[in-house]
Amino acid sequence: MPPSSPSVPRPGFWAALDSAQRTALRAAARPRQFPVKAPLVYQGDESDHVIIIERGWAKVTSTTEDGHDVVLAVRGPGDLLAESAVLGGRTRSATVTALSPVRALVVPAGRFTGFLDAHPDVWMLVTGTFVQRIDDSDRRLRAHVASRGTQRLARLLADLAERSAQHVAPAPDGSIAIGPPLSQEELGSWMDASRETVARAMTGLRAAGLIRTGWRRITVVDLPGLRAFADDAEPPG
């Protein structure tokens, strides 16, 4: 099987704006703080605002018909949230919940569309957000079909480490602390695996010297090695 292409971390929505655009969007927004476990938006709610995360991490979940919450994605600093529901005139398709304290800008729908009308080139950034999320969903599906559980976890942790490194510099030894404080259950839901599968995979990756773990804390010790393992058919160690 050919190796999968690693994702290339892209700047968040906020980072891609120029200073004038940021000033205009901040003027249209109201700042808000969300404590850990607080919902930023609820699945099924009416769409009346978008959110831009300035600091912190949040998980995106969808509730299935039988009442289970499935982790779909993690959003972090600079990410734009809830824009597809606002621009498409639909109810929210997912719930977004703070994984850590979150500071955000909340922009009413009318002000956001007015901002886009005044800055038409930003439409390309919003479109790019749509495309990136479709690509992420496609990669997740292909990984589920083609990879073992340990490889899926390695790929997910490598992606998270690359995103985290955009906001916090790696340690002097090159290790990268993953920003979102995800539990094994949340990781399992995101990668379509059981908590037990995640625990076994963590053990293997630790034994191979690729990661270190603590309570809701994962540090990638060897990012190139972790990425290489994600594309390798052989188990670590």
Based on the structure, what is the number of domains in the chain? 2
Q: For residues 12 and 78, is the Cβ–Cβ distance under 8 A?
A: yes
Q: Which helix (H) or strand (E) holds 219?
A: strand 217-220
Residue range of the domain that includes 65: 13-134
Burial grade of 81 (CB within 10 A; 0-12, 13-18, 19 or more): buried
Same domain, 68 and 155: no
Are residue 109 and residue 169 in the same domain, yes or no?
no
Strand, helix or coil for residue 56:
coil
Are residue 99 and residue 182 in the same domain, yes or no?
A: no
55 and 32 assigned to the same domain: yes
Determine the pLDDT at residue 78: 94
Q: Please tell me whether residues 43 and 85 are part of one structural domain.
A: yes
Average pLDDT of span 121-140:
77
Span 60-103, pLDDT tens digits: 999 888 878 899 999 999 999 988 767 776 778 899 999 999 99
Same domain as 177, residue 103: no
**Residue 46 pLDDT:** 82
Has residue 8 got a pLDDT over 60? no
H helices of the chain, in order, are 13-16, 19-28, 83-88, 109-118, 122-146, 149-164, 184-190, 195-207, 223-230
The residue to which tokens 């995640």 are assigned = 198
Residue 5 pLDDT greater than 60, yes or no:
no
* CATH assignment of the domain containing 175: 1.10.10.10
What is the rounded distance in angstroms from the CA atom of residue 64 to the CA atom of residue 120? Answer: 37
Same-domain status, 168 and 218 = yes
Give the rounded percent of residues in the chain with a pLDDT score beyond 90: 63
Residues 119 and 160 in one domain: no
DSSP string, 120-182: TTHHHHHHHHHHHHHHHHHHHHHHHHHS-HHHHHHHHHHHHHHHHTTTSPPPTTS-EE-SS--
- Residue 204 within a domain: yes
Query: Is 76 part of any domain?
Result: yes
User: Which of 103, 134, 165 is the endpoint of a domain?
Assistant: 134
Lowest mean pLDDT: which of 6-20, 23-37, 99-113, 205-219? 6-20
Distance (Å, whole) CA 8 – CA 10: 6
